[in-house]
Structure 1
Amino acid sequence: MFFKNIDKIKYEGEKSQNPLSYRYYDPEEEIKGKKMKDWFKFSVAYWHTLNNKGMDPFGSPTMNRPWDLSDPLDSAYAKVDAMFEFCEKLGLEYFTFHDVDIAPEGETIRESYKNLDKVVDKIKENMKSSKVKLLWGTANLFSHPRYAQGAATSPNPEVYAYAAAQVKKALEITNELNGLGYVLWGGREGYDNLLLTNSELEEKNFANFLKMVSDYKNKIGFNGVLLIEPKPKEPTKHQYDYDSLSVIAFLKKYGLDNDYKLNIEANHATLAGHTFSHELRYARLNNKLGSIDANRGDLLLGWDTDQFPTNVYETTFAMYEVLKNNGVDVGFNFDAKVRRASTDLLDLFYGHISGIDAFALGLRIANKLMPIIDEMVEKRYEKFNNDLGKEILNGETNLEKLSEYIMDKKVEKVESLKQELLELIINMHMF
């Protein structure tokens, strides 16, 4: 056991002063006919929880974990046990991984496949005696030097082929482990210098890559959801999957609209100059809200800090969108890491507990606010229920008719937005 002195985290209610307990997350509590655990399907991220060593661009590792062993395969096996124990003690049923998170990469794809097969056998053994399951899998197509200039948008066809081989295997593993989804994050699918970039070629190759993934998903009978995770920049200057709307436009342009949904990350939304709820809203309106990466950024820092989501305003507005969508297809993954100076194993629990509780509280508050917000929105647009409004909304009028209608009318004022009233109501329910 890696976390011997830590008991299973339980729901103790909002009066609890025990930091190793849930104050708001009651997995069995029903909201709108669905249990909290089913609204969320929370998962633990392999890369941030087990592989994070506390490095950053300005400093060396600060963390030495008990599963970090000298032999890479032994370390991989130990991480499997650590992940299952960690999830079970948190009372969470899911985890997520990149291929290189779970097994050491070999000198060739063939060697990497062999290592992955060994570790996947170990994961399957653990699954037999545990309720812990796979939420989604993915392939790391951004860390290795071969991907310095992209994977599916690389100027080198052999790099493109290598990326395809990685995704093929990761998709097979996700299917073998009954994952609910598979994520493609184009970490370096973009450019650093536009003048040196053949944008048309790269975009076409990226689309062809996504089509191959979709075709292979169908060939192997994978029933999970294919997901694209938007991000605007960092590590590249500009990424093709910039935000929800640019990804949706890309999918429509290349006939992939029915093949993919979106995995929305809070920190990526802020890097794109949007709010988390903005990105969720436009994914929802286009029937593309597939899954969520639960974290937050620091608005004073210009990069992806991947902090645990503790801002209840943000989680409340996010859960309003999720409630309007009646949930998400896959789940909520904690793509979040403890800070570099937070070096104790206990800090991993504190981070996840705070994020879980923040989303649970956000769900409760959003559920109370939703009818109030909906009524205010409906009232704001109520004039679209009259004859003129219906004609505009249904596309049953034209410029001549509208000009004739308004010619002798005075339009001087629109009713108050009442933003301050809404903000007051939100705080009433928040506190």
Structure 2
Amino acid sequence: MTAQSNQSAYFKNVGKIKFEGKDSDNPLAYRYYDKDAKVGDKTLEDHMKFAVAYWHSFCGDGGDPFGHPTRPMPWNIGNSAEDRAKQKMDAAFEFISKLGLKYYCFHDIDLIDEGENINTFGKRLDFITDYALEKQAEFDVKVLWGTANLFSHPRYMNGAATNPDFQVVAHAGAQVKNAIDATIKLGGENYVFWGGREGYMSLLNTNMKKELDHMAQFLHMAKDYARKNGFTGTFFIEPKPAEPTKHQYDYDAATVLGFLREYDLMDDFKLNLEVNHATLALHTFEHELQVAANSNALGSIDANRGDYQNGWDTDQFPVNLYELTQAMMIILDSGGIQGGGINFDAKIRRNSTDLEDLFYAHIGGIDLFARALIIAHQILTTSEYKSLLSNRYQSWETSAGLDYEAGKLSLEDLANITGDGSHLKATSGRQEYIENLINRYI
């Protein structure tokens, strides 16, 4: 087959990554991710729906604001945008196939260069998505979600859907239309909005109410267009508090949920949550997961971590088993991710310059998630954890507690129930005990 000849073109030193068990010392093998192993009533593959992020993995060259690229991208050669895009896609599907994964996700400009105008970009997207359809069919790989990059180009320096210039908003709409068309064409299961420039640098020159109204109108238009054209998936909003904008309108999970409720978007939108964005908002990842789960809006997640000493989005691959186990407990206990999956919005470090480093990073992240999910399932199903949590709220199972939750008590009733308060006593939250319990299972 043609693809087989391309399959070894870029990662010649790496074969198919296989599950070898926890005692394996092979750095190019899975130790915990046995995709067909069942945890509860689903396989590990179905629980997590791992997706490779096209941008960091195949567009990231190690460059940063302080230095030039450090990492060779042998697929990024050639005079034409079409040739470079095809080569990049060959590398991507070789990589995804060798990892044994079923999904990828992309921004429109990840797939192919924009060109001089929106019409050229649309034609280029048609070209490369035709090629992507061939690759997807051959390798049995799907699109977890697509999106439009509405933050990199200088035209979006003041935002896209929230830009004070209507002509920029119109251009953003055309770009999103094309990205939605591409996502539908490729069978994408979801579509994401990340508002990296949707916010403000200063309130002195910002009409916040007007911009929020415009953003809501934009999302309604995008949703209506997609539904009209046969898209049945879920739309995701990805919260982030700041950077690149000083204050972004999608600050955190609670802020986004409030926005979706205010503008009647809850029926079509859920959240795509990122670890690093949670910590930049001064939350834990599990906090953001629980906030979303409470509103039945836990749609998908970005798998990465930040550096606790840096105040920006470092997008590092996950390594912390203790923290990830707590996150997986919330995901499992809330019924799992709804519609989306786990995409590795993470990049290898600037000084990781070998192509094999991409494999080491993804293998480590995949194994970590698998291990955390297995441990979380054991904690939830075989330990005393759930009874400890339930017992802390046992007073609410009394008749008075149940009446309170049913709205049957008044403030005067509460005053009569408490009397002089002499019966009150301190009850331990047993935090350290529970932390130790989790460590025992790890």
What TM-score, normalized to structure 2? Answer: 0.96
Matched, 1:78 2:87: yes
Matched, 1:262 2:271: yes
State the secondary structure of the residue aligned to 2:307: coil
1:102 and 1:398 map into 2 onto residues whose CA distance is 60
Q: Which residue of 2 aligns with 1:393?
A: 405
Mapping of residues 302-321 of structure 1, within 5 Å: 302-321=311-330
1:408 and 1:245 map into 2 onto residues whose CA distance is 38
Mapping of residues 89-108 of structure 1, within 5 Å: 89-108=98-117
State the secondary structure of the residue aligned to 1:134: strand
Q: CA deviation at 1:146?
A: 0.3
Q: Which residue of 2 aligns with 1:350?
A: 360
Which residue identity is paired with 1:357?
A: D
Q: Which residue of 1 aligns with 2:11?
A: 3
1:188 and 1:394 map into 2 onto residues whose CA distance is 43
Q: Which residue of 2 aligns with 1:37?
A: 45
State the secondary structure of the residue aligned to 2:215: helix
- Contact 2:160–2:168 (CA<8 Å) still a contact in 1? yes
Q: Which residue of 1 aligns with 2:125?
A: 116
2:249 and 2:421 map into 1 onto residues whose CA distance is 47
CA displacement, residues 243-300 of structure 1 (integer Å, 9 cap, x when unaligned): 1000000011111111200000110000000001110111001000011111111110
CA displacement, residues 176-221 of structure 1 (integer Å, 9 cap, x when unaligned): 1111100000010000011111111101100100110111121101
Q: CA deviation at 1:400?
A: 0.7
Q: Provide structure 2 residue ranges, at least 5 long, that are not aligned to the other structure.
A: 1-8
Matched, 1:231 2:243: no
Which residue identity is paired with 1:363?
A: L
Mapping of residues 24-423 of structure 1, within 5 Å: 24-71=32-79, 72-328=81-337, 329-371=339-381, 372-423=384-435
1:168 and 1:75 map into 2 onto residues whose CA distance is 24
What TM-score, normalized to structure 1? Answer: 0.98
CA RMSD of aligned residues (A): 0.9
Which residue identity is paired with 2:340?
A: V
Q: CA deviation at 1:70?
A: 3.0
2:88 and 2:142 map into 1 onto residues whose CA distance is 15
Change (3 A) 1:58 1:411: farther
- Contact 2:306–2:315 (CA<8 Å) still a contact in 1? yes
State the secondary structure of the residue aligned to 2:327: helix
Q: Provide structure 1 residue ranges, at least 5 long, that are not aligned to the other structure.
A: none
State the number of aligned residues.
Answer: 430
**Which shifted more, 413-422 or 23-32?**
413-422
1:294 and 1:58 map into 2 onto residues whose CA distance is 25
Q: Which residue of 2 aligns with 1:16?
A: 24
Q: CA deviation at 1:411?
A: 4.0
Q: CA deviation at 1:130?
A: 1.1
State the secondary structure of the residue aligned to 1:226: strand
State the secondary structure of the residue aligned to 1:43: strand
